[in-house]
Structure 1
C-alpha cells in the first residue's frame, strides 16, 4: 500500500522503510524495495569504498523519470546514529562554508540512504582529514565514440601509468563511459595529483590527437574520448564503485578485468553496461575486483 512504513532493525539500528513498491526504474519495473535489496546485498564489497569518505547523494524521490536533486548536507530527520562530519566545502561560492556530510561506514546507513531514494552515491578521492589516496581518470566519450573507444584509451592510459609504477583498475561509469582508479600514497595534495593527471592526459592526446582530447571544451570532443583529469580536484567526486545509476534500467558502476577491457577494445567482445543483477553475479564470481584500491599505492612522480 502507498505510504506504508515498515520498522526494521539492522545491526542494532532501528528505523523505518517506506513505499517499497514505488517504481524507481519504471521502464524496468524496478522498485525501491529492489534498490534496497541491491544495496543490502552489494554492501560487503561496496562499504569499504565508501568508508571514511564524505558522500554526495543524488536522490530520485519519484524514480529516475522524476525530479532529482544533489544532496551534500545531512537530510532532515537524520538519525542520531548516522556518522556526520562537518567539513569545509572546497570551491564553494555560497556563504555557508561548511556542510554536515554523511559518512557511510555501515550497512544501516547505506540502507537508510537507499530508502531515501539516494540511487547514486558519489565520493571524493580522499578520506576525511587526509590527502588523496586515489587518482581517478574519467574517460568520457563524445558521440559517435562510445564504450569501445573508451576501452582502447583505457589500455593506453593503463600502460602509460604503469611506466610510472602506477597501477590502474577499470570500472564502467554505469552511464556512457568508464573510469580508471589508481591507488596512490595519500601523501600528495589534490593539486599535485591533478597536475600529474593533466600531464599524462595531454601526453596521450598529443600521441593520438584524432581519438583523444584532454580539453574540456565540448566543441573539440565529438568522436573523441575526453580524458577528464579534473576529477582529482578537491571539489570533485566520482561515482562510487557499485553505485546504481539513474538510467532507464538499473545499471551500476561495475569493476572490470583488464581482459574484459582489452576484449572490448579489440572488438572481440561487445561493449556493455551491467545491471544490478549482473553486478551481484560478478561479485559472486570475482569478489571485489577493486580491492587493491583499499591499500595505499606509490607516490606520483613530480
Structure 2
C-alpha cells in the first residue's frame, strides 16, 4: 500500500520508499526524499519563482532517463505552473516548485532539478550569469578550480561577485548575481569571457564545444546563459553512480582542491556543511550583490 503523507496540508502519495536507487551506495528512494526535506530551505530558495525542467530517473541512474519540461502526467491541481516562452509551443507551461509540498511531490518522481537563469515573472531577463566548467580527461575538477580562480578575478574586475558550486558530476559551475539583463546580452558577455580565458590559459582552456579539442582541457560552456537553456539547480541530487549533489563550495575550498575527491559531496555530506557554513549561495538572492554587465 502506498503511504500517504500530509505536507503543509497537502496529501502526497510517496511510493517505493525502500527501493534502492543507487546500488553503489545502497541509497534508497526514502533516503533521497529525506535529503530533499532536510535541505528544503536552501533548495527552495534556489528554485523560487523559476520554471523547472526535470531529468527523471525513476529506476536509478542505471535505468531509463528522460528530460521533461512539461508538467508530468498526474500533476496535482495545486502545483503552481508558469507560462514559458517556447517557439514551438506558445501555450507552454512548466512547474514552479513554490513550497515544501511541491518539492516532496516532485522528489517522489525521482528527479534532477534544472532551472534557467531567469525568473518566471521575467522570462529571458537573466538575474544570473552561469559558467559551466567541464573537464576533458585527463583534466579533472582540480583543473577546473584553477580556471575558476582566473574567472573569479576577471569577473571581479568588471564588478561582479562570483560564487561556486560543484556540478555534481566532474566539474564546477560559477554563478554571478545580476541586475535583470536580457539573456542574449548575458550570453554574449559569457562567450567573451570564455574566449579571454582561452587566450590567457591556452594550455588549459577551450571555449569550443568540439570533443576533439577537449581532452586535457577545461571547456567553458557559456551557452547555458541562453534563455532556452537550464543548469542543474544548486543542491539537486544527480543521476550518477553515487548520489552526488551539486553542492555550493567556498573559495578557500576551490583554491585548495588537490584531488577530485576534495570536491565530491554525497547527500549525507550536505546538512553538516549547511550547519557549518550556512547557505554559501544565499548572496545570489541579495539585491545588493547584483552586478551590472559592462
Question: Normalising to structure 1: TM-score of the pair?
Answer: 0.93
Q: CA deviation at 1:271?
A: 3.3
User: Which deviates more from structure 2 when the two are superposed, residues 207-216 or residues 159-168?
Assistant: 207-216
Instruction: Tell me if 1:106 matches 2:103.
Output: no
Structure 1 CA distance for aligned equivalents of residues 57 and 34 of structure 2: 17
CA contact (8 A) 2:129 2:177 kept: yes
RMSD: 1.3
Give the aligned partner of residue 212 of structure 2. 219
Instruction: Tell me if 1:300 matches 2:286.
Output: no
Instruction: Tell me if 1:139 matches 2:136.
Output: no
Q: CA deviation at 1:270?
A: 5.6
Give the aligned partner of residue 226 of structure 2. 233
Within 5 Å, which residues of 2 pair with 1:1-302?
4-89=1-86, 92=87, 94=88, 96-118=89-111, 120-130=112-122, 131-186=125-180, 188-264=181-257, 267=258, 271-296=262-287, 297-301=290-294
Q: CA deviation at 1:121?
A: 0.4
CA contact (8 A) 1:263 1:269 kept: no
Structure 2 CA distance for aligned equivalents of residues 216 and 206 of structure 1: 16
Q: 1:108-165 deviations in whole A, cap 9, x for unaligned?
A: 00100111112x1000000013210000000010110001000000000000000000
Q: CA deviation at 1:99?
A: 2.2
Q: CA deviation at 1:298?
A: 1.5
Unaligned runs of at least 5 residues, structure 1: none
Local SS of the residue matching 1:133: strand
Q: CA deviation at 1:216?
A: 1.3
Unaligned runs of at least 5 residues, structure 2: none
Structure 1 CA distance for aligned equivalents of residues 48 and 76 of structure 2: 18
How many positions carry a matched residue from both structures? 290
Q: 1:87-118 deviations in whole A, cap 9, x for unaligned?
A: 222xx5x5x34422000011100100111112
CA contact (8 A) 1:147 1:271 kept: no
Q: 1:225-264 deviations in whole A, cap 9, x for unaligned?
A: 0111111001110000000001111110010010000001
Structure 1 CA distance for aligned equivalents of residues 54 and 260 of structure 2: 33
Structure 2 CA distance for aligned equivalents of residues 102 and 261 of structure 1: 33
Q: CA deviation at 1:272?
A: 3.0
Question: Normalising to structure 2: TM-score of the pair?
Answer: 0.96
Structure 1 CA distance for aligned equivalents of residues 283 and 204 of structure 2: 30
Q: CA deviation at 1:24?
A: 1.1
Q: CA deviation at 1:86?
A: 2.4
Structure 1 CA distance for aligned equivalents of residues 71 and 40 of structure 2: 21
Structure 2 CA distance for aligned equivalents of residues 200 and 112 of structure 1: 39
Structure 2 CA distance for aligned equivalents of residues 221 and 97 of structure 1: 37
